[in-house]
């Protein structure tokens, strides 16, 4: 077990043992965006895609960004939200290879279907990948450009959508292979399910946790394997800077395929609410083991209508 995985297990054990997850203080994934949430005063089950929730009954803006994890809080029925990287850069440095990947505008389009459910279309952005490999003698450089894969998801909130001490959701997804191989795609359908959770902590901190099961194609053959992802993050408003929230996050992805590396990162994210329904963000991910990309940085935007 790596040092990163030890740290992750110790952190989770501390939270469970300390009783922080039972603190009884609720906040959405984005601390500031969730302040509007309250118990509904009307029966919101009457609203749907064609009968939108009125503005007076809408919950606070709660985008998934900028963290890797998703929020269990859905977009109100009949409303639309987009979230996208403006630019995302990743660099991986190995003993015999360096890979640089840039992605421009990879939007997720979210449509509120009912009070408890929304539908996502993740549109792959423009991917540019540069690889320099010297494992077999003189360095060879390759470049690839493509649009990324398309991901379809449904999010269903089980509890805590309109306030309360705890929120839980389910997000099954399927990946449609639209990316070419020279830009990182594998040309095969994959899928899985996310289970996002949120709870508030003392001192106006917010904690998010997401566990994910993926069924993916092996790196070296066409068989499939299970991969397990866990994400835990802590968010808090930045003192003296109105409407800015900082998030510290730990990410792990462990695969049952021996040819697929395990990934561990520490993530640092910032989100700034320009308005009650518009957020700008930036983040960086730092690799914690040799198989993880050295670093990743991005900036993005989220908006609800």
| Predicted local distance difference test score (pLDDT) of residue 42 | 82
Phi then psi for residue 133, to 5 deg, are -125, 130
* Average confidence (pLDDT) over 195-210: 95
Considering just the CA atoms, what is the radius of gyration of the chain in Å? Answer: 20
On the question of pLDDT at 34 being above 70, the answer is no
Which CATH number do you get for residue 290?
2.40.160.40
Q: Which residue has the higher pLDDT, 31 or 70?
A: 70
Q: Which two tokens stand for residue 262?
A: 């395990």
Please, which residues have CB within 8 angstroms of residue 35's CB and are 6 or more apart in sequence? 60
Q: How far apart are CA 190 and CA 180, in angstroms?
A: 15
Report the distance separating Cα 270 and Cα 248, nearest Å: 9
Domain coverage including residue 144 = 3-304
Q: What is the pLDDT of residue 187?
A: 86
pLDDT tens per residue across span 58-92:
999 999 999 999 999 999 999 999 999 999 999 98
Count of domains forming the chain: 1
Question: Which pLDDT band, with edges at 50, 70 and 90, does 259 fall under?
Answer: confident
- Check residues 184 and 115 and name the one with the higher pLDDT: 115
Residue 207's nearest CA partner among 37, 85, 24, 6 is 24
The predicted model scores a pTM of: 0.83
- Look at residue 94 and tell me whether its pLDDT is greater than 60: yes
- Dig out the tokens for 134 from the structure: 């010297």
């Amino acid at each position: 077990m790596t040092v990163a995985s030890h740290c992750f297990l110790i952190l989770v054990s501390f939270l469970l043992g300390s009783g922080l997850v039972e603190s009884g203080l609720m906040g959405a994934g984005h601390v500031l965006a969730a302040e509007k949430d309250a118990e509904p005063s009307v029966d919101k089950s009457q609203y749907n895609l064609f009968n939108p929730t009125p503005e007076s009954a809408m919950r606070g803006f709660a985008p998934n960004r900028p963290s890797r994890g998703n929020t269990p809080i859905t977009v109100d029925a009949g409303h639309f939200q987009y979230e996208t990287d403006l630019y995302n850069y990743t660099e991986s440095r190995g003993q015999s290879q360096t890979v640089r990947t840039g992605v421009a505008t990879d939007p997720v389009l979210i449509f509120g279907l009912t009070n408890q459910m929304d539908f996502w279309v993740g549109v792959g952005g423009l991917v540019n990948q540069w690889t320099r490999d010297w494992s077999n003698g003189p360095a060879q450089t390759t470049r690839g450009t493509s649009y990324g894969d398309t991901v379809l998801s449904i999010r269903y909130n089980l509890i805590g959508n309109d306030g309360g001490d705890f929120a839980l959701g389910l997000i099954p997804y399927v990946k449609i292979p639209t990316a070419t191989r020279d830009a990182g795609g594998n040309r095969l359908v994959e899928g899985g399910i996310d289970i996002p959770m949120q709870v508030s902590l003392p001192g106006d901190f917010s904690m998010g946790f997401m566990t994910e099961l993926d069924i993916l194609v092996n790196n070296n053959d066409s068989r499939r394997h299970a991969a397990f992802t866990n994400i835990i993050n802590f968010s808090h408003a930045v003192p003296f800077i109105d409407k800015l929230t900082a998030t510290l996050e730990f990410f792990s992805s462990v695969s049952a395929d021996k040819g697929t590396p395990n990934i561990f990162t520490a993530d640092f994210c910032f989100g700034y609410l320009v308005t009650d329904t518009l957020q700008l963000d930036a983040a960086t991910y730092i690799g914690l083991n040799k198989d993880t990309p050295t670093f990743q940085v991005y900036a993005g935007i989220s908006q609800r209508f």
